[in-house]
Amino acid sequence: MRIRPKRLQPGDTIGIIAPSSPPNQESLERSLTFLEQLGLKWKFGKHINNTYGYLAGTDDERLQDMEDMFADPSINGIICAGGGYGSARFTDRLDLQLIRENPKIFWGFSDITFLHTAMGLYSNLVTFHGPMLASCVGKDTFHELSAKMFMQLFEPMELHYTEDISPLGTVSGDVAQGEIVGGNLSLLADTMGTKFEVETKGKLLFIEDVGEEPYRVDGMLNQLRMAGKFSDAAGIIIGDFSEIELKKTKNSLTMDEVFDHYFGDIGKPAVKGFKIGHCEPHFAIPLGVEAKLDGNKKTLTILPGVE
């Protein structure tokens, strides 16, 4: 049983860090109004303004900010400013025991997938795949439903995803229950062969990505298939695959054809079309909690992520 972090209360303080690429500072500043509306205070990591090429500071600086926030008793939760690239560069040095001993809300997605997977494996912590401050919340496109998803941090609530939210497609029928794991497909592929390799046995595997052509998604799915990640899984939750632009060849399979190839006869539920990922609205979900995927009714039910 994973550790569920303590729920937030109005007046609590959120730690804001940039574990990957430098966040847009104007967008980050605009996002603070939303935290105020939630009744939250905030504290920036010491290196939130740093840049080191395509990274938000050196590996040591980004690692320090993350560990400092978990160790600081005045911080009740941590929300990442943005993704991009770089969190995997320091994950093998991250004090995962410190995180296990100081469980608190950790929220982000995209490149943050590598951290979610590591904390799930070695800190036994429920974490949250949700829209980040500079890359989502501080933009004009931030959706009302995306904003509402933050309320799951204040009150334990069961989440229900149906076609009332977006059209869904059954790639493979059947019903399965299990713990949700996963996130960004590119980052899940990056975990292969490392001590942070995603564990899917008996679990519902969630995948999403952005800006990847069908042949690239095909290659990453094939890597996970050959590693046994699909045969081990209880079911497959296919999130948003956006900004698909054919660059290599005009003769391409569609993304749907790729999904049908890998999941059409998988013998377990696989459902596509969930607005979870690089999209608006972005339906935020806890990772590491029990959920039920019904491929026949096209529904997903997820247990609460906080205590």
Q: Which domains does the chain have, with CATH numbers?
A: 13-153 (3.40.50.10740), 159-302 (3.50.30.60)
Mean pLDDT (whole number) for 43-57 = 98
Tell me what percent of the residues of the chain surpass a pLDDT of 70.
99
**CA pair distance 121, 129, nearest whole angstrom:** 16
Tell me what percent of the residues of the chain surpass a pLDDT of 90.
96
Decide if pLDDT at 47 tops 80. Answer: yes
Mean pLDDT (whole number) for 286-301 = 98
Helix, strand, or coil here: 3?
A: strand
Which pLDDT score is estimated for 245?
A: 76
Give the other-Cβ count within 10 Å of 30's Cβ. Answer: 17
End-to-end CA distance of the chain: 13
Which pLDDT score is estimated for 248?
A: 67
What tens digit of pLDDT does each residue of 99-156 get? Answer: 999 999 999 999 999 999 999 999 999 999 999 999 999 999 999 999 999 999 999 9
Give the chain's mean pLDDT.
Answer: 97
Structure tokens at 189: 């592929």
**CA pair distance 165, 259, nearest whole angstrom:** 21
For 41, what's the count of Cα atoms within 13 Å in the CB-facing half-sphere? 7
Report which of 186, 194, 182 is spatially closest to residue 216, judged by C-alpha positions.
186
Which residues on neighbouring strands pair with residue 210, listed in sequence order? 242
Which pLDDT score is estimated for 249?
A: 67
Which pLDDT score is estimated for 125?
A: 98
Known catalytic residues are 110, 208, 278
Range with the lowest mean pLDDT among 201-210, 238-247, 283-292? 238-247
Beta strands in 34-149 (DSSP E): 41-44, 77-80, 105-108, 127-129
H or E element at residue 271: strand 270-272
Mean pLDDT (whole number) for 302-307 = 98
Omega before 156 within 30 of 0, i.e. cis: no
What tens digit of pLDDT does each residue of 157-172 get? Answer: 999 999 999 999 999 9
> Which sign does the torsion angle of CA 212, 214, 216, 222 carry?
positive
